[in-house]
């Protein structure tokens, strides 16, 4: 074998590919490299890596179900890789590749989703670009220089026809044959289109002659219409430019205001930051005060601060609202002035309209007089009958025009129906051919069809399961949404209950009681802590208990004494103590019927009954004062609103704020139940999310499976040219029915054309007779006078039409222009009034708030004055902070108010800009119909409007014009010329294809036999070298005269005169024969490198040595990379690569040895 001048593999780098988890680099020499290792070590993965990086598209050819399985899976103990990457380096010393580098690197990366990425010299490219690059070096990933596991077996089991096709492929015949078939199919399609075009041309040649007359009249009409378009487009363009200038000025103003707003916001933000810092300092000071035990004083101070800030804020807001009201009033005044202006404009237009109406009446009178004179003249000269005849002729002309238009349309419909019928007949013929091909295919590809049927069934099952899972996922998504909503509601309910509990604790935190309880044993707690009350009775019971609610309950009177001593010694204040062993409750009185005592509404530990009897005594709880009045003042009573009535007659009441002094009944139980429900809902939510995750994963798998199956089914159907038989029958039936309908339609159109033609003939005959009658009764002098009268009438009609047009324009101006402005201003005025009312209401609300806040502030300041005596310095410092914060907040409010005013002004400009933009958009939309029209910039708007009116009157006087004649005529003529040119091109192409087909037919057999003889010669020689016992082998064709009608077999002489086919040989003999054939192919078409994966698996030691010797000889002229575990091949190699496996990690390791 001659040494080919080409490239070699210099290096192979793998990382994350199959069992090669870590970066593994194999450097190959130019001759014979052998990769060895025990079974399962991963040595064949090296050959797979070469095929992978060269671009093999099928993962199954790489011994994997799908591309993602090519990534290292982590084994039992390691983490899986995220991707697999293989790089192959080719020698480029001879500049085989179009790169200046001495070495070319090709890389392929596959990710977990199965997507691949290719690179050439680290630059990302497409797979096709990699294939094209390799093709320049004659490298084919499916070539015969790469022999993988199973290739020998497939070659042995291959049928004779498939073996013959290998020779065809090597000879290059298949490529030409495929091109020839494609050219034949394309030529057939072109012939069909050409025939259709010729039919259309024949139809239209006669029709063009009729169109020419109509086209000449249409040209005159079109010229006038084009001028009108130019004038309209120019007028719109001028109007648009005016609006655009106005909009630009508005945008410029808006930008300036926006810039100012940005500066104001930045200033407000800076002040806000300063306020935040001051508030942090104030909070620190407040915490210091609170830490010294003055919680109540701190709360008062905080409330005072809040009230002061709120007062300042409200006053600033009132000032801002008043300024805004002033602006609104000014805007209303401006709109009212605009109303007056619109009224003046309307009066001016109305005056002009009345003048035009008077002019219209005068012209109508003159027109009536002229018509009366014309009628008298005709009667006096006996022209009435002539006039009637002319009217009849006009009616006939109109009817003829209508009929001719109908006939023209019917003829076009007839031609279109004929084309549809021809198309349907061709489609029917195609379907019949497909049916015959389908029947022939059924007999030839039974196994493939069975596989296709099985795949379709699997595909249907996958689709069914996918739909079921999608429905389930949708249902679970709905349930999950409801559960999430319930979880949110439960959380909100729990938060509300916890807030109530926190409020109760906060209301009952008595610092004194807490400190005593911490220091003295036997202290139970305050009265409020020991009882539970339903929410509606809370205020009533707090009022009934009064100050006793904060009394401290202790076990004995001695403990009470100790507590009093404790307070005195530490000077901590005074408290009331209720000893359980000494407290004497009052005598219990029986309440009136239907009324309950206060104590009956409290739930408490029986040990504390005496306490609650003492605290609440015989107080009754009534609904309201009316019910108390009915009961009478014999009892101490309290209403649900907190109004207290003493036996002595005193009444205390008004508004009371709920303090939550008593714990709400069952509050703890409600919190526990809500928490338990929340846990259950969250568990259910978690289960649904988990179920959905599993469903989503399965849906993803099914979608991938469906896509794979769909691709394989489509690929197999295309290869077998399978069509849906049932669908084909339905389509055939539809075409047959369509053909019948088209026949009926053709018959109907033909009858209508015949009827209209007959009617046209009758009308033309009648018109000719009427014209002859008119000629007989007309006198030239009389006709001249008649023409004068008619000319006068026509002039008056034109004047009347002009006046009506002007009147319509004035009416439009009143209703659409001025009226639209008035309506828009009315809406704006109403909006301003609504804003004014809202601002006034807000001012009143803020004023009321200020009064209540000032009153509360005075009260709080009095309370604060008492606390200031002890904490004067701290409060002074705090007051300074508060004053500074108030000053800054007022400054911030002023800046924000100014910003709001600027925003209002910017909004007003934006509204105006939007209005102008809308008008521009309307003009722009109208201008769209004049796109491409050349503008006339030399005329002003008034002149353009006049020219438009004149042009439109001229167009109205032209009458009916068939503008379609222009397009139809030009298109038909253009199509005719184009089709003629295409016909010539197609004829030349047809001749070229026919010549090519003839050349291929003449040379195909010779090309095939030359290739066959060359390979057979190499095969016989190589087989003899591998089988020195004198046995021979040969490649045999079924027929040399007709080589493409039969197959090719491999026959081996086992004894004198006795030959066996390769499939009848032993395993080793089959392998040696197949290898001889593969080496023969390589002799015929040498490659620069060869990759073989365990091709010697079935060979014994002797045959392995023969194969090794042969490869060693070939290694002088080409590069061989062999995967093997036979000693014979290993001994002949120049470099050895040993592959071992770490079973726990599932990871291959490589060591090399240069022999």
Per-residue model confidence as pLDDT tens digits over 222-270: 777 777 778 778 887 887 888 888 888 888 888 888 788 788 878 878 8
Burial level of 760, CB count in 10 A (0-12/13-18/19+)? middle
CA 332 to chain centre: 47
Asked if 714 contacts 470 with a C-beta cutoff of 8 angstroms, the reply is no
355 vs 669, which has greater pLDDT? 355
1123 vs 437, which has greater pLDDT? 1123
Write down the mean pLDDT value for the chain: 75
Confidence bin at 297 (pLDDT 50/70/90): low
Mean pLDDT of 1074-1097: 81
Q: Which parts of 1027-1143 fold into alpha helices (H)?
A: 1067-1084, 1101-1114, 1127-1132
Confidence bin at 509 (pLDDT 50/70/90): very low
Burial level of 997, CB count in 10 A (0-12/13-18/19+)? middle
Confidence bin at 159 (pLDDT 50/70/90): confident
Q: Name 428's Cβ contacts closer than 8 Å, sequence gap at least 6.
A: 732, 735, 736, 739
Q: Measured between alpha carbons, how far is 486 from 483 in angstroms, rounded to an integer?
A: 5
Q: Name 852's Cβ contacts closer than 8 Å, sequence gap at least 6.
A: none
Of 6, 18, 102, residue with least CA distance to 53: 18
CB atoms within 10 A of CB 295: 13
Q: Poorest-confidence range of 452-456, 482-486, 494-498?
A: 494-498
Name the range with the highest mean pLDDT among 434-438, 515-519, 752-756.
Answer: 752-756
Predicted local confidence at residue 507, as pLDDT: 45
Q: Does residue 809 have a pLDDT over 70?
A: no
Q: Measured between alpha carbons, how far is 637 from 628 in angstroms, rounded to an integer?
A: 7
Name the range with the highest mean pLDDT among 604-613, 1049-1058, 1059-1068.
Answer: 604-613
Confidence bin at 618 (pLDDT 50/70/90): confident
Q: Output the CA–CA distances (angstroms, integers) from residue 1043 to 444, 1034, 1037, 1074, in the order listed.
A: 21, 16, 7, 22
Q: Does residue 293 have a pLDDT over 50?
A: no
Asked if 71 contacts 16 with a C-beta cutoff of 8 angstroms, the reply is yes
Predicted local confidence at residue 900, as pLDDT: 63
Of 528, 660, 573, 504, residue with least CA distance to 293: 573
Q: Name 36's Cβ contacts closer than 8 Å, sequence gap at least 6.
A: 43, 1123, 1124, 1125, 1130, 1136, 1137, 1138, 1139
Confidence bin at 731 (pLDDT 50/70/90): low
Note the maximum CA span of the chain.
Answer: 149
Confidence bin at 87 (pLDDT 50/70/90): very high
Asked if 540 contacts 640 with a C-beta cutoff of 8 angstroms, the reply is yes
Mean pLDDT of 1026-1044: 78
Mean pLDDT of 122-140: 85
Q: What is the pLDDT of residues 868-889, one digit of tens each?
A: 555 566 666 766 777 777 677 6
SS3 string, 879-895, reads: HHHHHHHHHHHHHHHHH
Predicted local confidence at residue 107, as pLDDT: 93
| Number of residues written out for the chain | 1155
Burial per residue of 494-525, b for 16 or more beta-carbon CB atoms within 10 angstroms, e otherwise: beebeebbeebeebbebebbebbbeebeebbb
Name the range with the highest mean pLDDT among 99-108, 349-358, 1070-1079.
Answer: 99-108
Predicted local confidence at residue 969, as pLDDT: 64
Q: Measured between alpha carbons, how far is 1023 from 1032 in angstroms, rounded to an integer?
A: 7
Mean pLDDT of 716-730: 57
Q: Does residue 449 have a pLDDT over 50?
A: yes
Torsion on CA atoms 1069, 1071, 1075, 1077, rounded to nearest 10: 70
Domains along the chain?
A: 510-634 (1.20.1060)
Find tokens 């009045």 and name the residue.
629
Predicted local confidence at residue 1, as pLDDT: 47
- Ramachandran angles phi, psi of 1059, nearest 5°: -120, 145
Confidence bin at 843 (pLDDT 50/70/90): confident
Q: Does residue 499 have a pLDDT over 70?
A: no
Torsion over CA: 820, 826, 827, 832 (sign): positive
Q: CA angle, 1063 as apex, 1060 and 1068 as ends, to 5°?
A: 95
Mean pLDDT of 942-962: 68
Q: Does residue 1065 have a pLDDT over 80?
A: no
Side-chain half-sphere exposure of 669, counting CA atoms within 13 A: 4
- Per DSSP, what are the bridge partners of residue 315? none
Q: What is the pLDDT of residues 776-796, one digit of tens each?
A: 555 556 656 666 666 677 677
Q: Name 849's Cβ contacts closer than 8 Å, sequence gap at least 6.
A: 310, 314
E strand or H helix at 1153, and its extent?
strand 1147-1154
Quick one: the chain helix, strand, coil %, rounded to 5?
70, 10, 20
Of 80, 32, 70, residue with least CA distance to 49: 70
- Ramachandran angles phi, psi of 9, nearest 5°: -85, 120
Name the range with the highest mean pLDDT among 238-247, 298-307, 315-324, 511-520.
Answer: 238-247
Mean pLDDT of 132-140: 82
Q: What is the pLDDT of residues 529-580, one digit of tens each?
A: 778 887 777 788 788 877 777 788 888 888 888 888 888 888 777 888 889 8
Mean pLDDT of 799-812: 71
594 vs 63, which has greater pLDDT? 594
pTM exceeding 0.85: no
Q: Measured between alpha carbons, how far is 250 from 258 in angstroms, rounded to an integer?
A: 12
Mean pLDDT of 185-194: 67
Name the range with the highest mean pLDDT among 203-217, 255-269, 763-777.
Answer: 255-269
User: Where do the DSSP E strands lie in 919-1029?
Assistant: none
Name the range with the highest mean pLDDT among 98-107, 613-622, 671-680.
Answer: 98-107
Cα radius of gyration (the chain): 53
Q: Which long-range contacts (CB under 8 A, 24 or more apart) does 317-324 make?
A: 317/842, 317/846, 317/893, 317/897, 318/843, 318/846, 318/847, 318/850, 319/897, 320/893, 320/897, 320/900, 320/901, 321/839, 321/842, 321/843, 321/846, 322/843, 323/897, 323/901, 324/839, 324/901, 324/904
Q: Measured between alpha carbons, how far is 586 from 618 in angstroms, rounded to an integer?
A: 8
Token code pair at residue 856 = 């509360």
Predicted local confidence at residue 119, as pLDDT: 93
- DSSP letter string, 485-509: HHHHHHHHHHHHHHHHHHHHHHHT-
In three-state secondary structure terms, 23 is coil
156 vs 1107, which has greater pLDDT? 1107
Asked if 78 contacts 21 with a C-beta cutoff of 8 angstroms, the reply is yes
Q: What is the pLDDT of residues 15-29, one digit of tens each?
A: 988 888 888 999 888
Torsion over CA: 381, 384, 385, 388 (sign): positive
End-to-end CA distance of the chain: 24
Predicted local confidence at residue 85, as pLDDT: 92
Q: What percent of the chain has pLDDT over 90?
A: 2
């Amino acid at each position: 074998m001659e040494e080919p001048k080409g490239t070699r593999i210099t290096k192979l780098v793998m990382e994350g590919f199959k069992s090669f988890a870590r970066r593994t680099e194999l450097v190959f020499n130019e001759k014979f490299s052998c990769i060895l290792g025990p079974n399962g070590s991963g040595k064949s993965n090296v050959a797979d890596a070469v095929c992978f990086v060269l671009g093999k598209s099928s993962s199954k050819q790489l011994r994997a179900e799908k591309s993602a399985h090519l990534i290292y899976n982590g084994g039992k103990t390691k983490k899986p890789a995220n991707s697999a990457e293989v790089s192959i380096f080719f020698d480029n010393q001879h500049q085989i590749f179009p790169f200046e580098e001495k070495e070319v690197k090709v890389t392929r990366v596959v990710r977990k989703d199965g997507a691949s990425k290719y690179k050439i010299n680290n630059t990302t490219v497409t797979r096709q670009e990699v294939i094209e690059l390799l093709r320049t070096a004659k490298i084919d990933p499916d070539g015969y220089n790469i022999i993988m596991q199973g290739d020998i077996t497939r070659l042995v089991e291959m049928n004779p026809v498939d073996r013959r096709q290998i020779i065809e492929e090597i000879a290059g015949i298949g490529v030409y044959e495929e091109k020839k078939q494609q050219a034949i199919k394309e030529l057939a399609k072109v012939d069909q289109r050409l025939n259709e075009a010729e039919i259309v041309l024949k139809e239209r040649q006669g029709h063009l002659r009729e169109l020419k007359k109509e086209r000449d009249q249409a040209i005159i009409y079109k010229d006038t219409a084009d001028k009108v378009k130019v004038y309209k487009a120019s007028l719109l363009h001028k109007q648009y430019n005016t609006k655009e200038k106005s909009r630009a000025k508005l945008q410029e103003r808006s930008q300036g205001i926006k810039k100012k707003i940005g500066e104001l916001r930045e200033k407000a933000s800076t002040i806000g930051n300063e306020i935040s810092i001051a508030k942090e300092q104030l909070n620190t000071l407040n915490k210091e005060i609170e830490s010294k035990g003055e919680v109540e004083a701190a709360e008062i101070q905080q409330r005072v601060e809040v009230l002061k800030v709120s007062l300042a804020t409200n006053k600033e807001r009132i000032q801002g609202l008043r300024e805004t009201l002033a602006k609104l009033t000014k805007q209303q005044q401006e709109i009212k002035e605009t109303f007056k202006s619109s009224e003046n404009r309307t009066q001016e237009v109305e005056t002009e309209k009345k003048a035009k109406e008077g002019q219209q009446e005068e012209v109508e009178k003159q027109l009536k007089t002229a018509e009366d004179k014309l009628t008298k003249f005709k009667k006096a000269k006996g022209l009435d009958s002539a006039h009637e005849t002319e009217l009849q002729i006009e009616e006939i002309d109109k009817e003829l025009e209508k009929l001719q238009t109908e006939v023209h349309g019917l003829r076009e419909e007839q031609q279109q129906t004929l084309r549809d019928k021809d198309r349907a007949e061709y489609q029917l013929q195609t379907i019949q051919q497909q049916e015959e091909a389908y029947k022939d295919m059924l007999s030839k590809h039974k196994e493939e069809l069975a596989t296709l049927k099985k795949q379709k069934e699997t595909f249907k099952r996958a689709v069914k399961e996918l739909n079921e899972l999608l429905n389930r996922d949708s249902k679970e998504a709905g349930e999950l949404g409801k559960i999430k909503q319930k979880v949110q509601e439960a959380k909100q309910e729990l938060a509300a209950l916890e807030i109530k509990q926190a409020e109760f604790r906060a209301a009952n935190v008595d610092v004194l009681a807490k400190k005593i309880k911490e220091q003295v044993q036997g202290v139970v707690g305050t009265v409020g802590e020991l009882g539970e009350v339903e929410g509606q009775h809370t205020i009533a019971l707090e009022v009934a208990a009064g100050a006793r609610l904060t009394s401290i309950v202790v076990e004995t009177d001695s403990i009470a004494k100790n507590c009093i001593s404790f307070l005195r010694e530490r000077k901590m204040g005074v408290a009331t103590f209720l000893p359980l062993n000494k407290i004497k409750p009052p005598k219990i009185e029986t309440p009136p019927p239907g009324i309950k005592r206060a104590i009956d509404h409290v739930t408490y530990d029986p040990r504390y009954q005496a306490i609650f009897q003492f605290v609440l005594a015989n107080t009754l709880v009534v609904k309201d004062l009316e019910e108390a009045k009915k009961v009478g003042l014999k009892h101490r009573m309290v209403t649900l609103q907190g109004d207290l009535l003493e036996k002595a007659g005193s009444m205390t009441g008004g508004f009371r704020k709920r303090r939550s002094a008593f714990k709400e009944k069952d509050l703890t139980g409600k919190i526990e139940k809500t928490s338990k429900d929340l846990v259950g809902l969250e568990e259910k939510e978690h289960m649904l999310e988990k179920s959905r995750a599993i469903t989503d994963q399965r849906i993803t798998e099914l979608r991938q499976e469906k896509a794979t199956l769909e691709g394989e089914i489509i690929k197999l159907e295309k290869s077998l040219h399978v069509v849906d038989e049932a669908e084909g029958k339905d389509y055939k039936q539809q075409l047959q029915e369509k053909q019948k309908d088209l026949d009926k339609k053709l018959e109907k159109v033909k009858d209508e054309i015949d009827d209209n033609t007959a009617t046209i003939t009758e009308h033309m005959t009648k018109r000719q007779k009427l014209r002859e009658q008119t000629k007989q009764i007309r006198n030239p002098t009389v006709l001249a006078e008649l023409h004068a009268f008619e000319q006068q009438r026509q002039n008056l009609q034109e004047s009347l039409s002009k006046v009506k047009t002007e009147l319509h324009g004035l009416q439009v101006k009143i209703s659409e222009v001025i009226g639209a402005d008035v309506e828009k201003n009315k809406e704006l005025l109403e909006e301003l009034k609504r804003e004014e009312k809202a601002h006034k209401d807000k001012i009143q609300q803020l004023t009321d708030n200020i009064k209540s806040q000032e009153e509360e502030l005075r009260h709080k300041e009095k309370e604060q004055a008492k606390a200031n005596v002890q904490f004067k310095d701290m409060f002074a410092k705090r007051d300074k902070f508060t004053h500074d914060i108030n000053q800054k907040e007022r400054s911030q409010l002023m800046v924000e108010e100014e910003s709001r005013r600027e925003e209002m002004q910017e909004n007003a400009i934006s509204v105006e800009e939007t209005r102008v933009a809308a008008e521009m958009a309307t003009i722009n939309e109208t201008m769209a119909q004049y796109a491409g029209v050349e503008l006339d910039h030399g005329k002003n708007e008034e002149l353009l409007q006049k020219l438009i009116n004149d042009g439109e009157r001229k167009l109205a006087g032209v009458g009916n014009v068939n503008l379609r004649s222009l397009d139809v005529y030009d298109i038909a003529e253009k199509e005719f010329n184009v089709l003629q040119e295409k016909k010539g091109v197609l004829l030349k192409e047809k001749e070229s294809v026919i010549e090519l087909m003839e050349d291929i037919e003449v040379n195909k057999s010779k090309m095939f036999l030359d290739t066959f003889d060359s390979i057979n010669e190499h095969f016989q020689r190589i087989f003899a070298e591998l089988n020195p016992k004198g046995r021979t082998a040969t490649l045999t064709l079924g027929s040399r005269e007709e080589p493409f009608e039969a197959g090719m077999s491999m026959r081996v002489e086992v004894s004198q005169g006795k030959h066996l086919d390769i499939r009848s040989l032993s395993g080793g003999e089959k392998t040696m024969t197949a290898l001889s054939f593969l080496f023969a192919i390589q002799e015929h078409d040498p490659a620069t490198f060869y990759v073989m994966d365990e091709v010697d698996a079935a060979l014994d030691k002797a045959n392995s040595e023969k194969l090794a010797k042969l490869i060693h000889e070939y290694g002088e002229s080409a590069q061989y990379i062999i995967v093997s575990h036979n000693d014979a091949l290993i001994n002949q190699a120049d470099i050895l690569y040993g592959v071992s496996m770490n079973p726990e990690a599932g990871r291959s390791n490589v060591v090399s040895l240069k022999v």
